[in-house]
Structure 1
Amino acid sequence: MIYAGYNIFDLAEHSTFEETVFLLWNLRLPTKAELEQLKADLRRERPLSDLNSRVQREIVGKIRPMRALEISVIIAGALDPKSSDLSQEQLKKTAALLTARMPTVLANFHRLQAGAGAGAAAG
């Protein structure tokens, strides 16, 4: 499988997650400065909003993790004042927000679920 001219096995072996993300978004590998900026952007976007945290506490034990992820994406979009801006620059910022936040969503949901007891999520 080839992504933007690079063999996926070469990417898996020699590229970081952030380098691969940048490649998929820009069809080229990043410069050192671009990579550092992307890493900083992803770090900044990791924390959940208060609303997302509250909603997760309310839904844990009632729904499955993938549904929680879907709801969290909807909330992130609803809270984004620039969600109607479809410029390439803004779309990349939105992609960074979602790329950074989704692991946080799942980790938080898992922690909440583990605290609620085994088998807490229902279908």
Structure 2
Amino acid sequence: MAELDHKILINVEDDETRIALLHGSKLDNLYIEQTHRTQKIGNIYCGKVVKVQPSFQAAFIDYGEERHGFLSLSDINFQVYKPSREGRGRPSITQVLKPGQKVLVQVIKDELAHKGAS
């Protein structure tokens, strides 16, 4: 029987726990939890589009925290937020979101260093 080359590495310190998921020598996922910070992953917020970035195909969302969140076009539910014009292929972020528009967002990645949540 073939042996799976998966590993889980866990490092626990007083104020932080890190869990790394490895597949062979490749890092598949890294989870970091700091005891002094409240984790927001999974939380749902009513936010407001602050800026639309066509070059990134993404938008920055004010969801009530110090830093704005990052919303990629690939994370948008097109059944809820329909593009402004129908067409073939994937719509542009500017066809889906406009500055000032209210959006319902769920955090899938916590803030990290100088970057807001996404």
Structure with greater helix share of residues: 1
Which structure: larger Rg? 2
The answer to which structure, 1 or 2, has the higher relative contact order (CA under 8 A, 6+ apart) is 1
Structure with greater strand share of residues: 2
